[in-house]
Chain A
Amino acid sequence: MNQGEPPRDERTRRLMMAALDGEITAQDRTELDRLLQADAALETEWLQLARLKEVTSDMALRRPSEEVWDRYWGGVYRRLERGVGWILASLGAVVLISYGLWTGIKSMFGDPELPMFIKVAILAVIVGVVILLISVIREKLFTRQADPYKDVVR
């Protein structure tokens, strides 16, 4: 066996696939015929695969109605539009929430009647949420880009 050539069983399988799919050379076809003649189990397997090939060759993917193609770009365009909508809505919400928080914190700390432990607790919640957000954003932006397995489909 030459270096880089698959093991015998693997080669036989590939020969059968190539023969079924019309991608076999005359020389390989002769080799396959010789292998089939010499091995009854292999011939049985070959006949099963050939029958399956007949079945799959008679099948095709179901075509949708022509209307689907007429409306297709509309579906893609709506997704693009919604993407822009989500970005604008999210940015706006971030600005408004930040402003609301800032105003709330200012008035809260300026209120002499509010107990100190409440002020500290609210501050802890806000700082905690900010840390969590920064952590998630950092993971999305930096860690994922450096992840060598990010393109591996799970």
Chain B
Amino acid sequence: MVQEEEISKRDEPIMSNDDSLLKAEGIYKSYRMGATEVRVLKGVDLAVKKGEFLAIVGVSGSGKSTLLHILGALDRPDKGVVRFQGRDLSRHSESELNRFRNKMVGFVFQFYHLLDELNVLENVFLPAMVSKGIVGWIASRGRAKSRARELLAQLGLRERGNHKPYQLSGGERQRVAIGRALMNEPRILLADEPTGNLDSATGNGILEVFEKLNKAGQTIVMVSHDERIAQKAGRIITLADGKIGHKSIRA
């Protein structure tokens, strides 16, 4: 409990000169592939406002997933700063970054990435379990389980709690992944090609879930190679040649 309060205090905005929830400034990232250095991001500037649904669009290999991972502290930039509520993520210690990933962001991956050994309900409340010790978990598991059940009901998976991931369809698995991402009520949801592995009807269902969440106030950043999918977002930016190119705002 104390830890959670500390995190909340630490993550209170310390800069008030803009209303960005997440801000990336001059992000550079390159990878070494054999003898060749591949420069993926070449000075990306980006700001995500609270309550916004932002889509980052780009062709395969444009660096959009890399950017998303950097925004969610799954990866570090070579150069540049990512600020969350005004705080520079690079100044966070490892344990602060772990708490950041646990409390502040929720990830949705293209390939769902659910744990096969856990059932659907357990997969959803896993982030809550991770943030607690044994005693803390025993004390709070009732609340966590009812929150997980509530999320599954909202995502149309009320009856699937005891099923194993392999017993679900692709769309259902992705909704479980969304439930897991939302479990700790993160400030921002980061989705990496969430429909990339689904047929268009199922993909649309997932996008509808995102739209509903956004309408309820959830900040979402989604990357996609498909501009039609990105149309569901409130704002679209294009990543090309490692830089932010075209920007558009949906009417």
A interacts with B: no
